Structures are given as structure tokens and as C-alpha cells.
Structure 1
Amino acid sequence: MTLALLTTLGTLGSAVPLAHADGTDDLKHKHQDVQAQIEQAQESAEEASKAVNRAKSDLATAESQLADAQVSYAGAQAHVSDVQAQLADAQAVDAQMQAALQAAQADLAQAKAEVRAGQAALDAQQQAVKDSVVSVYQQGSPELMAWTGYLQSQTPSDLIRKMEYADTLIEDQNTVFDQLHAAELALRAERDEVRTAEQAADEQADRAAQQLVNVQQLEQEATEAANDALLAQDQVTLTVAARAKAQRKAERAKRQDLEQLEKLKKQEARIKAQILAAAAADQSAGYVGDDDGFLLPPVTGAVTSPFGYRIHPIYGYWGLHDGTDFGVSCGEGMRAAADGKVLSRYYSPVYGNRLYVDVGKVNGHALTVVYNHATSYRVDVGDHVTRGEVVGYVGSTGWSTGCHLHFTVLQDGTAVDPMNYL
């Protein structure tokens, strides 16, 4: 709607058919004053529209950033949950490792105690053996003493008694040696158990130490993940605030733009009344005949956006596109659609370089054609042009996203579908 109104206002103000107003100076001066006012209003509206575009761009960026921040926050939260679950598992394993380590250490302590007890028993056995050996050397060999006793026996009963004594003495010595051997074997086994327990305790300590490192790493990762989640949450908060700010900025720019357009609409009503009055003063018949084909297509390009209602490019509502867009390359020549006279040529912040050509009356209606977004023009105000003459060159000046010609036809000051005349 904004672009349509600005085009209409700009063209209406310039399309006053001076050639049909009996050349009155008063109307010329009014036309010039109104044209200047419209140009100033156009510039203000253009700045407001640009502000809207910037605000809408900021809003779109903020919305995109908000979506990214929300995804990042969700991912960070999921990562925190995952790391915390891993940490809980690791802490449980660590507790088991510590319990196993304590058990291994207790087994080692028990084995060492048994070694100490075994060593004491062995020492006692060794001392008994020493005493027995000393006694043997002091008293002589037990076997020799037994045989001596046997020979000195006086009676059979005395012989039997001495034989029993010798056997007991020999058995006691054998028992001492057997106990010593058993103590040595037991001590050896207990020392083997100590070595096994020490190895098990060392291995358990290594596993517990590694598990502790894993737990510490997971704790650090959990802390970092929590911080990342907090930062992501802060980013979401900041982005929401930025989005709200962009929204307010867009609404404010839109409000200012619409206020300016409301003023322009009032001016439009006054200008159109002047144009109609000037047209009524023209008593010539002009062209009478078939409208179709009266105008020559200004360029050879295809139609990229027809005349009619469409979604407004700024505000998104349904509005009038007051001309026909032709897709052509920059620099291509634009032809005069009919014989006529150049009424106005100037630069508009919205439509770039503009040219208005009065082509006279057609079936009783004052007809004006308008060329927009040109790179440059070859004709100037007051020049007469002939049908097919190159009047300028296609461009992308003003509010344009690419090379094209926006071609407008005004019928009695009101924009109509150019295709009705092409």
C-alpha cells in the first residue's frame, strides 16, 4: 500500500496535464508547490519504510537467533542430564572401588598378621630344634644310648622299659623336626598369601585411583555443562529481549509510516481534484478508438509482477501494486509508449529516476505514462517524444532489488492496469 500510494501521489502531482489547462500560470505554480510537497513527503515516507525494513530485518534475525539459542539451551540441558547420569554411575562405581580397596587392604593386614604369627611359631620351633641338637651332643646319640641301655639291661622287663624309653625319645625328636618343617611350610604359604594380597591391594588401588580421576573429570564436565546451559539460558533471555525490542521498533516505524501516508492521502485528494479540473478545461477530442494496443510496450522483457493487489512487501497485508513490472537488464532502452510531452523528470527515493509523459486524451480520458527505477533518461521536461523513441535506460535506482521497469499508466490521475492499453 505504501509503495502504491507513493507512486500514485508522485505521478499524480507530476501528471497535471499542463498542456490542457490553457497554460494558466496559477495552476502551474500550484502544481510545482504540490510536487515539492509530495517529494518531501515521499522522502519522509521512504525513510520510515526503510526503518520498517531494518526493524523487520532485526526482528527476523532476532527470531532466528532465538530459535538457535533455544536449540542450544535444549542441547545443553540434555548434555547436563547425560553427564550427571554418567557422574552418578561413576560415583557409584567409585564407592564400590573404595569398598573393594578397603577389603583388599584388610586382607593384606590380616595376611601380614598371620605371617608375623607364623614367624613367631617358626622361631619357637627353631629354638626347640636347637635345644634338641645341643642335648644330643651333650648326651650322645639316642640310638647309641638305646643300644647301650639294651646291653646293660638285667631283666626282660628292664629291657622292654628301656626300649620304650628310647622309642619315645626318638619320636619326640622326630616330632620336633616335623613341627619345624610344618611351621616353615605354613610360613611360606602365609608369605605367598601376603604377596597375593599386596598385589591385589595394589591393583585395586590403581583401579580406585583411575576411577577417582574419571569421577573428577565427569564432575568438571558436569560443571562446564551446567555453565553452558546457564549461558544458553541467558542467551535465550537476551534474544527474547532483542526480539521484543525489534518488534517495538518495527511497530513504531510502521505507525510513523502510516501517519505520513494518511497525510499524503489527503494531499492526493486535493491534487486529483486539480487534475480533473485541468482535464475538464481541455476541449480537444484527443484519440478516439480501440484502447487495446494504443500504447507500445515500453520494453521487450517479460512481465514479472502484474498490476493488481498483492501481499505488501513491507507490512505483509493485501495492497495494490499500481503498475506492471517488466524483467529486463540494466541499460536496456525504454521506448516512448505513444506520442506525447514530458511533464516531469526527477529522482524519488522510492522509485529512483522517474519520468512522466502526457500522451493526451484517449477516449475522453487524460492519459499519462510513468517510467520508474531508470538508470538515466535521454529527454527532459517539455520535450516532445514520438512513439518508439528511446527515452531512457532500465536501471535499479530507488527502492529496487534488481534491474526492472515499473511501468505505470494514469487514467484521469488514477492508476489503471497498463495491459489494458498495451
Structure 2
Amino acid sequence: MSAGVLAVVPSAQADPPDPQAKKKQLDSEIGQSKTDLNQAVDQLSKSVASYNQAETQYKAAQAKYAVAQGKLAAAKAADVVAASKLKAAEAALDGAMSDVVAGEQVIAEKQVVAGQAVRSAYQQQNRLVGLSILLQGASPADVATGMQVQRNVFGIQGTTITNLNNAQAQLANKRAKMAEAERQVAAQRAEAARTVQEVTKLTLQVAADKAEAAKVAAERMVAFKAAEKDKNTELAHYQSLVAERNRVEQILIARAKAEKAAAARRKAAAEAAEKAKAKKEHRPPRTVPTNPGNSSGLSFPINTYITSPYGMRFHPILHYWKLHDGTDFGAGCGTPIRAAASGVVTDRYYNGGYGNRIFISHGVIDGDSITSVYNHLSKYKARVGQRVAKGQIIGYVGTTGYSTGCHLHFMVYQDGRVVNPMKWL
């Protein structure tokens, strides 16, 4: 079975250069592309959070601008109403002033008429008194005629005075109306001035809010582009992981078929030899194990805690389901990693997503071809083609590749397909 065929760059040399020397170069290529334990990039989370904040601020600025526009429109409408009321009040004042002038003219005319009536009455009264004296002893008919004349004269005087009083009362009423009209005009002028002032203030506020909205919109666009860039980066990294996993699966599926066929041939040969030996020793043949060296399965590569289990999870930013294709063990960089079972190191290489990886083929266990993979290593301890024992140190924990911190991403391939490692631990 050939070894070292999984790496994109061939690693056929007996002892490839230690990856520690290339770590700085590789890390610089990765740059800020770091993920959390759920394979989400920290920078992406921050940029999306920044965009969400910018979006909230943008909506608030838009709302504020809309409110200011509404207030300005209302103020302008109020200004139109106030101007109309002022115009009406001024027209009413003009009418009231005209009525007062006309009333004063009527009063003047009435006063002239009344003065004439009073003088005439006074003169008539004096003559009638003299007449009454002269007529003393006159006939009753003559006296009655004199009294009727006197009543007529004083009747004319009373009517004139009443008309004057009425005209004066009407003038007072008109003056009161004019005073009220003047008060209304003053009030409407003050209201119009207030609306003009409010319109001016709100016009400035609308301009300021519009400028603020434009500024926030520009910041929002910058945040949006940053978030989109990081989203695309995250998506590209995840797609590269999927592509790498699919590529490895295709190779390991073919390798597993060959490995199982070889194991079947070895078992058939061992069973044939056991039957021949049993026949020679006159006993029943014993059961030949498929892979006696790994009959107990796999063991934990690190005696530490699990930080992220195998399984499907929903990406909170990209909004799709993705497979976390291994079990993450938390450990400090430099912590020794041990072979989960005895086997042969088939491959080791660097991948942009998985970092430094090492593959160990454990042969056929319980009828399945099993390969364990150790990712994000800081340094290798075993080389390609080397046979290692269960528990032997094969490398050290690191944070190379698509990783936010020191940990081991442990994977298991069963018959060439990735499965939950805990099934075999």
C-alpha cells in the first residue's frame, strides 16, 4: 500500500522538513482568518456584529430624519394656516376700523342734528312760555293749540337725542370689535412668527439629520462590504475544508478497499494454515482474528477535555448546516499527541484549513478499515512510512491552519468515510 499520496504536494522524501520552521510563513498566509471552536471566524463575527450595529444606527438615523421631515411638513402646514388666519384677522381689523370711522362720522352728523334740535327747542320753549303768559285768560281752544305745539317741539328734540345715543352705542360696539380684531391680529402675528421660527429650526434639523443619515449610510456600506468580504472568506475556507475532506475520502475509500482485500487474503491464508496445522495436530481449527493488534479499538489521543464534538451544526452567520468532521480536544500548544492505535503513518502534510495533519492507518478493525487523522499540529514526531505503537507520541498540539487556538482536531475515517470518532474511542 502506497504512503504519502494524500498531500497535494508530494511528500515522498523519507524525512520531510519539520513544519515548525515554516509555521510563521504559513501563519502569515492565514492572516486574520481564524475560527472559533465551531469553525466560525472571530473576525467574521466581529465584522457582522459591526454591520448589524451600523444597520441599527442607519435605521435609527432614517427614522430620526423621517420624524424631522414630518415635523417640518407639519410646521409648514401650520405656517400656512397661521398666515391664513393672520390675513383673515387683518381683513377683519380693516373692516372694524372702517366701521369705526363710519360710526364716528355718523356720530358727528347726529351731534350736529342734535345741537340744532336743542337750540330750536330752547328757542321754541322760551316763546311758548311768553305765549302762555300772554294767552292767560284766552279761550280754551287757543290754549290747547299752544300746548300741542310745545309737545311737538319737545318730541322732535327727544327723537334726535335717542338717535344720537343709539349711534354712540353702536360706535362703542364697533370700537370694541375693533379692539378684539386688533387683539386677534396681534395673536395671529405672534403665532405666525412662532411657526416661521419653528420652520426655520426644523429646516436646519432636517438638514443635520439628512447629513447624519448620509454619514451613517456610508459607514453602513463600509461595514457591509467588510462583512461580505469576511463572509466570503469564511465560506471559501469552509468549502476548502469540504473539498479537502472529499478528496481524502476518495483516496481513502480506494485504499480501504485494497486494505480490506489484503486483510481478507491474509486472513484466508492464516485460516488455511490454521486448518492444515489443526488437521496435522488432530484438533479443531482455532478462530483467526482479523487484526489482533487493534482488537481493543482506539484510545484517546490526549487525556483532556472535549471542547467541540463531532456533528452537524447551524452556522449562525452563513445560515446553513455544516459538518464539524471531528472531535476537538482542548490542550495547550506543545502537548504530546499519541497514536490512538498501532498502525502505519501513511501521510503528513499541511493544509490551509486543517493545518499540519498526520494520518495513521490502523488496518482492519472489526471488519472496517480505520484511519485516524490528527490536525493543527505544531510539530511532527513520526514520519511517513513509520510503524507506530498505540500510545506512542506522533506529534504535538498546535494551532496551524484554520484555528483560533491550540487544540487537536481528531478525525476517524471508516472504510474511507469520515465518522464520529467517539464511536471508536
Fold conserved between structures, TM > 0.5: yes
> Are 2:18 and 1:43 equivalent residues in the alignment?
no
Q: Which runs of 5+ in 2 are unaligned?
A: 1-5, 253-290, 346-350
> Are 2:218 and 1:223 equivalent residues in the alignment?
no
Q: 1:148 aligns with which of 133, 142, 145?
A: 133
Deviations 1:349-399 (A, max 9, x none): 9889x897989878698976647599xx9x9899x998599x999x99986
Per the alignment, residue 103 of structure 1 pairs with 92
Q: How far did 1:109 drift?
A: 3.0
Give the conservation status (yes or no) of the 8 Å contact 1:288–1:362: no
Per the alignment, residue 280 of structure 2 pairs with none
Deviations 1:185-222 (A, max 9, x none): 22441343034213421342244134314532552365
Q: 1:115 aligns with which of 104, 108, 111?
A: 104
Write the distance in 1 (CA, Å) between the matches of 2:141 and 2:238: 142
Per the alignment, residue 323 of structure 1 pairs with 326
> Are 2:410 and 1:407 equivalent residues in the alignment?
yes
Q: How far did 1:339 drift?
A: 8.1
Write the distance in 2 (CA, Å) between the matches of 1:39 and 1:329: 19
- 1:146 maps to a residue whose letter is L
> Are 2:300 and 1:296 equivalent residues in the alignment?
yes
- From the two aligned structures, give the one with the greater helix fraction: 1
Give the conservation status (yes or no) of the 8 Å contact 1:122–1:184: yes
Q: How far did 1:291 drift?
A: 5.1
Give the conservation status (yes or no) of the 8 Å contact 2:381–2:396: no
- 1:69 maps to a residue whose letter is Y
Which shifted more, 107-116 or 241-250? Answer: 241-250
Q: 1:246 aligns with which of 223, 226, 229?
A: 226
Equivalences for 1:1-150 in 2 at 5 Å?
Answer: 27-29=13-15, 31-32=16-17, 35=19, 39=23, 42-47=26-31, 49=33, 54=43, 57-58=46-47, 61-62=50-51, 65-66=54-55, 68-70=57-59, 72-73=61-62, 76-77=65-66, 80-81=69-70, 83-85=72-74, 87-88=76-77, 91-92=80-81, 94-126=83-115, 128-130=117-119, 132-133=121-122, 135=123, 141-142=126-127, 144-150=129-135
Equivalences for 1:259-338 in 2 at 5 Å?
Answer: 288-290=292-294, 293-296=297-300, 298-299=302-303, 301=305, 304-306=308-310, 321-326=324-329, 336=338
Write the distance in 2 (CA, Å) between the matches of 1:316 and 1:45: 27
Give the conservation status (yes or no) of the 8 Å contact 2:370–2:412: no
Alpha carbons of structure 1 residues 119 and 388: separation in structure 2 relative to 1, 3 Å: farther
Q: Secondary structure at the match of 2:33?
A: helix
Q: How far did 1:223 drift?
A: 2.2
Give the conservation status (yes or no) of the 8 Å contact 2:369–2:415: yes
> Are 2:422 and 1:419 equivalent residues in the alignment?
yes
Query: Percent identity of the aligned residues?
Result: 19
Per the alignment, residue 161 of structure 2 pairs with 181
State TM-score, norm by structure 2.
0.57
The count of aligned residue pairs is: 370
Write the distance in 1 (CA, Å) between the matches of 2:292 and 2:79: 95
Which shifted more, 59-68 or 364-373? Answer: 364-373
Q: How far did 1:142 drift?
A: 4.4
Write the distance in 2 (CA, Å) between the matches of 1:43 and 1:400: 10
Write the distance in 2 (CA, Å) between the matches of 1:251 and 1:207: 63
RMSD: 6.1
Alpha carbons of structure 1 residues 28 and 415: separation in structure 2 relative to 1, 3 Å: farther
Write the distance in 2 (CA, Å) between the matches of 1:189 and 1:179: 15
Write the distance in 2 (CA, Å) between the matches of 1:260 and 1:356: 18
Deviations 1:31-64 (A, max 9, x none): 116x368636632442163599547854663465
> Are 2:153 and 1:164 equivalent residues in the alignment?
no
Write the distance in 2 (CA, Å) between the matches of 1:312 and 1:109: 83
Q: 1:200 aligns with which of 176, 180, 193?
A: 180
Q: Which runs of 5+ in 1 are unaligned?
A: 1-7, 17-25, 273-286
Deviations 1:61-111 (A, max 9, x none): 346534652564366346524652563355235414531442244124303
State TM-score, norm by structure 1.
0.58
Which shifted more, 314-323 or 234-243? Answer: 314-323
